[in-house]
Amino acid sequence: MHQDVAKVLLDEPTIQAKVRELAARLSEDYQGKCPVLICILKGAFIFTADLMRHLTIPTRVDFMAISSYGNRTRSSGVVQILKDLDRSIEGEHVVVVEDIIDSGLTLTYLQENLWSRRPASLRSCVLLDKPSRREVPFTPDYLGFQVPDEFVVGYGLDYAGLYRQLPYIGVLKPEVYQKHS
């Protein structure tokens, strides 16, 4: 365990089992279709890669970079698109793949933005959910795990660009992020 992590919430085997389960559900629900997975950078890139490897259907991937955190531990509520899609999603079956939902503001904004581009369907696949932090109603279509209101890192999730490489999801020690607040 990394020295800045207080405890491991989800170990690597637990995460991988859930990713396989989500991929099986997506493969069944999109049988006969070729959905576009929209990976929300940077946090969801590891989750998206693992998810894609377990899909049994054809799929495409595109990327968006969204910011509402900066180097803070809580969302500012202001969503910025830093990198947009490379191609049109009009008429496509779209699945937004996100690492975590807490306030719901980012995914609500993103969903409204993507619906305006006229996809055939639009769903969300989220690895982690912090329902206690919800400010606007949002329920992911595919969900990995609910987690407590603690600052989590690893498996793509970061603090100030660090800890993404950890193969597990752990709780960051408060003294690590409080000294930068």
Per-residue pLDDT tens for 132-165? 988 999 999 999 999 999 999 999 999 999 999 9
b/e map 34-61, b = 16+ CB within 10 Å:
ebbbbbbbbbbbbbbebbbeebeeebee
- CA–CA dist 87, 95 (Å, integer): 15
Taking residue 30's Cβ as centre, other Cβ atoms within 10 Å add up to 19
Residue 106 makes CB contacts below 8 A (sequence gap 6+) with 66, 68, 75, 79, 98
pTM: 0.92
Q: Is the pLDDT of residue 58 over 90?
A: yes
Banded model confidence at residue 51, pLDDT cuts 50, 70, 90: very high
Task: Report all structural domains of the chain as residue ranges with CATH numbers, in order of start.
Answer: 12-153 (3.40.50.2020)
Q: Give the model's pLDDT for residue 41.
A: 95
Q: Determine whether 102 is an active site residue.
A: yes
Taking residue 26's Cβ as centre, other Cβ atoms within 10 Å add up to 25
pLDDT in tens, 61-101: 999 998 765 555 555 567 889 999 999 999 999 999 999 99
Angstrom distances, CA of residue 21 to CA of 27, 54, 55, 68: 10, 9, 10, 29
Beta bridge partners of 5: 172
Q: Can you tell me which residue has the tokens 């990327």?
A: 63
Which of 102, 141, 149, 158 is labelled catalytic? Answer: 102
